[in-house]
Chain A
């Protein structure tokens, strides 16, 4: 069983490697440079998939947390925590790549645009979720309380987005470049490259998630062993 699991993990890592190499070739060599934005548009082939993956992670954390509260099975908690960790890393890449793209195109690093505000607030909520887990001693209580934080974050997501859209209506986004000419974005090659990079980054996400989950299992076994060494009378039972 363990051997099969390792084989499956290795296959996933290899598939990720191939998909990422192919996506990188498409985004830097195959796809032509955008005539409106120039070379900076290539950032979107990383930014969009990374944003997609971090949104998947947020939904995943919420679903795993609800499942934990229903079933009380530790596996769900480990899945939620691992997804949150990988999701926060992708979230940080999303925010930074978005800012690097925005500076030449919008002439500012940051604006009050709805998606930006929502992404930033959600990023902070999930950082707080991980900080809580880091500060709280391991055990049932930590699993239960962190599940509650994740559920509150998920409930807040649509409200934050709606508030950000309303806010944006009052503050028009500072679009100064030729970004408004959107028909260029639907060009077939650009669309295909985006699709391939979304698939490749999804592979990367699952690859990292599987690795993080194995690590979480090792951490858990280590905690159990440590507990048994400290309390030898408990290990007999």
Chain B
């Protein structure tokens, strides 16, 4: 049996597709470097990631699929889930194998690979919506608004546009504590990708997202209290329904949310 091993990058996966057609073979499975090889594999091909080949495959995809379908693939990739690799690889291969006259495969949800890729992309889109819902900013003394998050999927690139559009006159920083990078917007222009060399020295806690007392702006504490007061007051006690609350606002998001902190 034939097995391909790639380096886990998008370019690597696209190169694997290129090699499949170049070598006229169809591997039984696609593994990431470091995965245990299955028994009885007699043909292992190490995919050498090549940017030019990857570009050619991507351009081919853009020609054969609708813009929406290409976007879903890109969005799905941000899930950072290993389960996506094989279905996505087989999906892309099928796109290139398809005859031009057949109805496009991208909406054939009876195909398990297409359905899986679509479902994973949906999950990512769901989480980016949750970030737009649940991000909470604190205001620092210098006027910068800070929010710390740690989403399951790598969704920051999908939401910076929304926040730059909405808060176009206020400098903000959204930091992904789990992936150790963030986006900074200085109040004009575009949000920029940033990382901290010394993460220990940042003036906020990565564990609960709180700004340190000495850099917090003077009225922020009062506003947080106001918000917590409002959050408690708006609840109708006769209708308490923790099941629905947890369903719509899972507990894993609570640790950075003002109304759920004390």
State yes or no: do A and B come from one complex: no
Q: Which residues of B contact A (CB under 8 A)?
A: none
Q: Which residues of A contact B (CB under 8 A)?
A: none
